[in-house]
Each structure stands twice: as structure tokens, then as C-alpha cells.
Amino acid sequence: MKQKILFGTLLIASLGTVSLAFAQQTTTPPLPPQATEFYTPIPPKVTPGAMNHQAPSDAIVLFDGSSLSNFVSAKDGSSPAPWKIEQGELVVQKGTGDIQSKLSFGDAQYHIEWSAPTEIVGEGQGRGNSGFFLMGLYEVQILDSYESKTYTNGQAGSIYKQYPPLVNPLRGPGDWNYYDIIFKAPRFDKNGMLTSPATVTVMINGVLVQNNVTLKGPTEYIGIPNYKAHADALPIKLQDHSNPVRFRNIWVRPL
Ligand code: MG
């Protein structure tokens, strides 16, 4: 009996020694708090817009109500943009075609404000339809789907025919909606193979509707989307879908 107790005591003592040695081997000395505090590079200072939706100091303003000088017709990419400015608001002119920015963009943050026509005409995709095309290829839908039914992946805030919006935070015809969009352009290798698809995050009126979704390719009206290699930066496009949608405050921050 005595032997058993002695053996037990020795076993516990030796296990204790082993675990102590293990603990000594794996414990690192405590870090000072400064070890995880970094001072460079310093994030650039940006002055926020005076009002909520005005452009921050480092944005490129594409439309501020004064002129269409930053846009051209998308028909030929060079002739003057054929839409009208009325009281500082850009109005789609039916039948004149899409317009596109003179500058090209890849990864970028966008802000855009739009308002559906107060005179309600049509329904579904025929009511207050326009679109904001990232790189001229990937459409974030603009549509008066405030109280008008259509396919969910075609309503306002959808990535057209790819992703419906998570919610519908739209304001009604005549009121202003604002989109904040964060876009990562797709990457292609030198052989034109897709190495990284595009992703996009969209907020409507400050409410998240697309949470970093992965685009399946250019947004198509008919058929399955498929990537085709293109430039690292391309103009954005605004759609003429025959409805007099109005725009104001369009700015971009290339990333
Ligand atoms: Mg559209």
C-alpha cells in the first residue's frame, strides 16, 4: 500500500515537471502595447462634403448640375452627351442613347443620385428605368420599383439579372435616391483568362442592398453572363431606357 502511494506521488510530481517545462517552452514574454501600434503609412486626410451627399475633397465630380462636359454620347464615345440639364438636374432624353464618362475607371467608389419621373408611365421594367453601368458593362439597376412589380433581380439596386437587392429602401417618384457603390474591377491575365471576378457593394439611401457580391460577368438582358477580357479601366455609362429619369451629384473616388 505504501509503495502504491509513493508511486502515485512520484507520477504526479513527474507529470507536474513535464507540464511546467512545456509551459516554459511555449510562453513568450508579454508584449508592450506599443508593439502593435503602427504610425506609417498615414491615411490621407479627406474633408467630408459640407452636406451629407456632397463630394469629398478627393473625389472626381462627374456631374454637379452645371454641365455635361465630363460625358459624351456612348454611341460613338466622342460626340457631346445628348441629354438635357434642367434646373441643375440631368434628364435622360428618350431615344438619344446612353451617355458615358470621358474618364475611365477600374476599382472605385461611386456616388450617384437619381429620381424617377413623377408622371407614372408604364410598369415593371418600363417604369422609370435607367441604369448605372460600372465599366460600361456591369449594370446596377435604376428603376422605379417603389410600388411597381418586376422580377426581383431586375428591380432598383439589383445587379441586373444576377443579384436582387437585399431590401428595397427606395423613395417614391420625384424623391431623390442615392446610391453608394464600391466596385472592384475584374482581373484578366495576359492571355485574357479571368483571374479574379468583379465584386460590388451597393447601398441605397444608406442601406446595404448588395454585400460584396461576385459578378458573374457583364449583365445581360438575354442569356448567361460570361466574362470577356477588357481594359483595367473603362468609362461608366448611364442608360437611356426611354424614361425621363433625373440625375444629380455624381462623383467617383478611384481606389
Ligand atoms: Mg436599366
Q: What are the tens digits of pLDDT across the range 203-215?
A: 999 899 999 999 9
Selecting from 2.60.120.560, 3.40.50.720, 3.30.365.10, 2.40.50.100, what CATH number does the domain 60-254 have?
A: 2.60.120.560
For the stretch 119-124, contacts whose Cβ atoms lie closer than 8 Å and that sit 24 or more positions apart, written own/partner, are: 120/144, 120/173, 121/243, 122/243, 123/148, 123/149, 123/150, 124/148, 124/149, 124/150
Number of Cβ within a 10 Å radius of residue 209: 25
Q: Give the pLDDT confidence of 132-182 residue by residue, as tens digits.
A: 999 999 999 999 999 888 999 999 999 999 999 999 899 999 999 999 999
- In this predicted structure, what is the pLDDT of residue 49? 66
Ligand 1 center to 153 CA (angstroms) = 11
Interatomic CA distance for residues 133 and 179, integer angstroms: 13
Taking 80 as the threshold, does the pLDDT of residue 222 lie above it? yes
Ligand 1 center to 175 CA (angstroms) = 18
Peptide bond connecting 41 to the previous residue in cis, omega within 30 degrees of 0:
yes
Q: Taking residues 106-120, report their average pLDDT.
A: 96
Q: Which three cell numbers stand for residue 11?
A: 507520477
* 3-state DSSP percent of the chain in helix, strand and coil, to 5: 15, 30, 55
- In this predicted structure, what is the pLDDT of residue 24? 52
Taking 50 as the threshold, does the pLDDT of residue 244 lie above it? yes
**Residue ranges covered by each domain of the chain:** 2-36, 60-254
Ligand 1 center to 245 CA (angstroms) = 11
Ligand 1 center to 107 CA (angstroms) = 22
Ligand 1 center to 115 CA (angstroms) = 14
Ligand 1 center to 244 CA (angstroms) = 12
Q: Across the strands, what pairs with 142?
A: 130
Taking 60 as the threshold, does the pLDDT of residue 4 lie above it? no
Position 51 confidence tier, pLDDT thresholds 50, 70, 90: low
> Does residue 153 contact residue 163 with C-beta atoms inside 8 Å?
yes
Ligand 1 center to 142 CA (angstroms) = 6
